[in-house]
Amino acid sequence: MPYVTVKMLEGRTDEQKKALVEKVTAAVSETVGAPTANVHVIIEEMKKSHLAVGGKLKSEQ
């Protein structure tokens, strides 16, 4: 049973997340030969104030 965790900033729509998990599931299934029913995708959304790049919070950019 493959488990995939996707970490991304908050703000995506439910439709975008649905498309993401469908495509990730298909890619994992095709690559490792696991049935799609066994592929688990976990989305972890982060607040923009919880991520910094180059010393600046994403919420400040």
pLDDT, tens only, 5-37: 999 999 999 999 999 999 999 999 999 999 999
Active site residues: 2
Q: What is the DSSP letter of 18?
A: H
Q: How would residue 55 be classed by pLDDT, with cut points 50, 70 and 90?
A: very high
pTM value is 0.88
pLDDT at 23: 98
Q: How many CA atoms lie within 13 A of 59 on its CB side?
A: 7
Phi and psi, residue 33, nearest 5°: 75, 20
Would you kindly state where each structural domain of the chain is located, as residue ranges? 3-60
pLDDT at 53: 96
Domain 3-60: give its CATH architecture: 2-Layer Sandwich (3.30)
pLDDT at 45: 98
